[in-house]
Chain A
Amino acid sequence: MLVEGIKSRPVYGGFAIDPFARRHIFALEGEGALALLDQKPALTATMLNRSEVLYVAAGPKGLDHDLALAALKPDRFWQGPTIETLLFRLRGSLSAATMSTRLYISGREGFIGQCMQVATDMGMDFSSIPTEHRGSLARRVQCVHCKGITDDVRTSPFKCSHCGLNLLVRDHYSRRLGAFQGVNVDAEEPGTAPQAEELFA
């Protein structure tokens, strides 16, 4: 069950390498690696010499693309164990970046949202950042009641991992949090929540 027709849902336009950028930073998660690998014709030696690739594999289910990425021989290739470490590294790279730096983000929605948050925090305009959704459709959801965030939500409704309420996943997306909104469905009569449906596999 999903609340549809809400306009705040982000749009992921896909990658297009900016030929004028002096520096390219790629933040990639899991299948997001393919968004870069698929750019093959645009991946010239000059372009790769100006590129920094930050990669994190996407959990046990995700395929590993680290070897393929490293084989591109970008100026810098960095692989981290978790999204948090990648975000920390991204923040570091952006703090030294100039206006000629283009950031590209690809992976699951929650990952894109979190990188976007770091980038806008560093002063980047979200419309200048190409994004491409790859991998599972699982969502990162914030419970509007306890404010706790649950990653990798595949069904709606689902049980909030913090307060245990049954939450309906809305299409309402907060750019600031990089998360969708989850609202309790059985507030009047606990236990009457509709059957959970797998919507974001």
Chain B
Amino acid sequence: MSGGLAIAVRVSRIDTVAANIKRFRLVRHDGEPLPVFSAGAHVIVTMDDDGHRRRNPYSLMSAPHDTSGYDISVLRVAESRGGSAFLHEKLREGDALTISHPVNLFHADKRGRKHILLAGGIGITPFLAMMAEFDRANVAFELHYAMRSREHGAYWQELVERYGAHRVKLYFSAENDVLPVASLLHNQPLGTHAYVCGPDRMTDFVLRTARECGWPKSNVHSERFLAPISGKAFDAELLRSGIVVRVGDHESILEAVEAAGIDAPYMCRGGACGQCETAVVACNGVLAHHDVYLSEEEKASGRKVMICVSRFDGTKLSLDL
């Protein structure tokens, strides 16, 4: 099945951990242990919102060796198409959900001597699992965590208590703190790895600064919480299935294809893993590539599209699907 084998879970506990952020504990429906995962992994959560199926990726924040349950933390997005709104406003303790097996596109490099974690807002989630793993293995790390304000930031107090102020540095933009990316990256010893997860602007800035500081690409890692971007509705012809699907303005091609009952492959639903890559057979118009998987040349060639996040504007799009 696309997305891997599904696991039936139950929400055992919901906590509000900051303004607009809730934590959900998921345990297996049959009471069995969940698979061990590696820090940085996420699962795809499938929700049944009054008969409307929603699927979003969420990073696992609990300790990777804890198989009794998984914790995820979800930010209520202001203009939600439904996923985060459903989780925040409709889901109750005891309710059922389905999750995929964990997928990791944001590994900690095990050979690293030292790890610098740069988190922005809800981007803290994969790092919570990573820090538990580093701490357990006695590996050197530093967290630099930027948040809007003390009320909006999740877990910062506990993190300082658990790992100490020497390893956890906080920056609140409401208090005019700025995360000093360049000075942080300067003069780090060989074997240091840097990781960033936060808003796009922060991620772009960190990647650019690392490059300008002379860091090699191999030591800089990022994960973006990409979501399908809304846009104008369009039709997509699926040649192998022999049908045309309408992709709504708030829908991704993948979602439209699934709604038509076709099982297309996916793994991250966030434009990063490459699993949903689809060949473009005909394209009369412009593809809006929103993924971070294809190279610039591949995007320009117009022969492939990542259907989980990318869109189309034009008169005719035919896909090998």
Contact = CB atoms under 8 A, between A and B. Distances in A.
Contact of A125 (B185, B189, B212, B216): B216
B219 A128 contact: yes
Contacts of B186: 98, 100
Interface string B168-191: 000000000000000001111111
Interface in A102-132: 102, 120, 122-125, 127-128
B216 A102 contact: yes
A27 B109 CA distance: 26
B217 A128 contact: yes
Contact of B214 (A100, A122, A125): A100
A120 B109 CA distance: 13
Nearest to A123: B191
Among B188, B212, B213: residue with most chain A CB under 10 A:
B213
B213 A20 contact: yes
Contact of B189 (A20, A99, A120, A128): A99
A21 B186 CA distance: 11
Interface of A: 18, 20-23, 94, 97-102, 120, 122-125, 127-128
Given A98-B188, A99-B189, 4 more contacts: A20-B212, A98-B189, A123-B190, A128-B218
A147 B189 CA distance: 34
Nearest to B187: A98
Which of A120, A124, A125 has the most chain B CB within a 10 Å cutoff?
A125
A125 B188 contact: no
A22 B189 contact: no
A18 B217 CA distance: 11
Nearest to A128: B216
Nearest to B113: A123
A22 B111 contact: no
A123 B214 contact: no
A125 B218 contact: yes
Interface of B: 109, 111-113, 185-192, 211-219
A22 B218 contact: no
Contacts of B185: 99
Secondary structure at chain A's binding surface: helix, strand, loop or mixed? loop
Nearest to A94: B190
B218 A97 contact: no
Task: Tell me if B's interface is mostly helix, strand, loop or mixed.
Answer: loop
A98 B183 CA distance: 13
Contacts of B113: 123
A-B interface, 4 closest residue pairs, ranked by CB to CB distance from nearest: A123-B191, A128-B216, A100-B214, A125-B218
A101 B212 CA distance: 12
Nearest to A101: B190
A174 to B, nearest CB: 17
B123 to A, nearest CB: 22
A22 B211 CA distance: 11
A169 B189 CA distance: 38
B212 A124 contact: no
B211 A99 contact: no
B190 A97 contact: yes
A140 B215 CA distance: 31
A131 to B, nearest CB: 14
A122 B191 CA distance: 7
Nearest to A20: B214
A102 B192 CA distance: 14
Contacts of B213: 20, 22, 99-100
Contacts of A124: 190-191
A21 B192 CA distance: 15
B190 A127 contact: no
Nearest to B185: A99
A26 to B, nearest CB: 16
B301 to A, nearest CB: 24
- Which of B185, B189, B218 has the largest number of chain A CB atoms within 10 A? B189
B188 A99 contact: yes
Contacts of A21: 214
B75 to A, nearest CB: 32
A123 B212 contact: no
B216 A123 contact: no
Contacts of A120: 111
B134 to A, nearest CB: 16
